[in-house]
């Protein structure tokens, strides 16, 4: 029988922690500061709290969010959430899977794309099944961003704190090859606009 590599799932679950990881909270503050509403948002890394999906479903925002998680527990929390809150489900879809296997044939155009956890969790396990690289993923999701839309990174992620600074190299190539320009940063978020 052929050998199949198993999916690189995230064997953890992440509670909201404003002190350690404020990126999702800062995203909501940025969304409000830009008066983003009735928009389409792609969100990398839901957390078990699903804050980005829940908060964007509010009548004042009505942003449709497609979130992705590679954590079984976080996805189970999403199932419970939408059974309790169809009002949230109307705006918020989460998928379980490896973002590095995302298929652009299935994606719409987004107004806002978050890549907060780029270069944080991708390992040789993803290579084993030929998953996208970090640069390929960023490029793919930039193609799925509308002109004038925004792509956001998280400056305090563990990838930025690592000494090898691979995420900076990825961002340099991405910025050079994709039609993007740096916009105004917001708190811990690095913000780009697609030209």
Ligand X SMILES: C[S@@+](CC[C@H](N)C(=O)[O-])C[C@H]1O[C@@H](n2cnc3c(N)ncnc32)[C@H](O)[C@@H]1O
Give whichever of 9 and 183 is closer to ligand X, judged by the CB atom.
9
121 touches ligand X (CB under 6 A): yes
Please give the Cα distance from 50 to 7 (Å, whole number). 22
Task: Select the span of 43-51, 138-146, 171-179, 182-190 touching ligand X (CB under 6 A).
Answer: 43-51
Count other Cβ atoms within 10 Å, centred on residue 135.
18
Sequence-ordered list of residues with C-beta below 8 angstroms from that of 24, at least 6 positions apart, any chain: 16, 47, 49, 51, 52, 116
The reply to whether 21 sits near ligand X by the rule CB under 6 A is yes
Sign of CA dihedral 77, 126, 100, 137: positive
Measured CA to CA, the distance from residue 90 to residue 176 in angstroms comes to 37
Only segment of 31-39, 44-52, 58-66, 139-147 that touches ligand X (CB under 6 A): 44-52
CA dist., res. 71 & res. 92, Å (int): 17
Nearest Cα neighbor of 113 from 177, 55, 68 is: 68
In the complex, least distance from residue 169 CB atom to ligand X, rounded to whole angstroms: 20
Give the residue closest to ligand X by C-beta. Answer: 45
Q: Which stretch binds ligand X (CB under 6 A): 65-73, 77-85, 142-150, 181-189?
A: 65-73
CB of 179 to ligand X, least distance (A): 25
* 11, β-bridge pairs: none
Neighbour-count burial of 170, counting CB atoms closer than 10 A to its CB (0-12 exposed, 13-18 middle, 19+ buried): buried
Q: Is 53 in the site for ligand X (CB under 6 A)?
A: no
Q: Is 72 in the site for ligand X (CB under 6 A)?
A: no
State the nearest-atom distance from the C-beta of 195 to ligand X, in Å.
Answer: 27
Question: How many positions of this chain bind ligand X (CB under 6 A)?
Answer: 20
Binding-site ranges for ligand X (CB under 6 A): 10, 14, 16, 21, 23-24, 45-47, 68-71, 74, 98-100, 116-117, 121
């Amino acid at each position: 029988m052929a050998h199949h590599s198993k999916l690189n799932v995230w064997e953890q679950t992440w509670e909201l922690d404003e002190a350690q990881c404020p990126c999702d909270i800062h995203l909501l503050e940025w969304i409000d500061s830009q008066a983003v509403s009735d928009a389409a948002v792609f969100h990398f890394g839901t957390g078990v709290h699903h804050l980005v999906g829940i908060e964007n479903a509010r009548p004042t925002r009505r942003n449709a969010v497609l979130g992705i998680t590679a954590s079984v527990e976080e996805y189970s929390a999403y199932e419970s959430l939408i059974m309790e809150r169809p009002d949230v489900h109307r705006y918020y879809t989460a998928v379980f899977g490896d973002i590095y296997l995302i298929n652009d044939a299935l994606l719409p155009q987004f107004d806002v794309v978050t890549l907060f956890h780029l270069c944080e969790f991708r390992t040789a396990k993803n290579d084993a099944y030929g998953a996208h690289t970090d640069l390929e993923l960023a490029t793919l999701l930039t193609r799925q961003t509308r002109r004038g839309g925004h792509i956001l990174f998280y400056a305090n992620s563990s990838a930025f704190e690592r000494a090898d600074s691979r995420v900076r190299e990825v961002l340099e190539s991405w910025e050079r090859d994709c039609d993007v320009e740096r916009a105004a940063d917001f708190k811990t978020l690095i913000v780009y606009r697609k030209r």
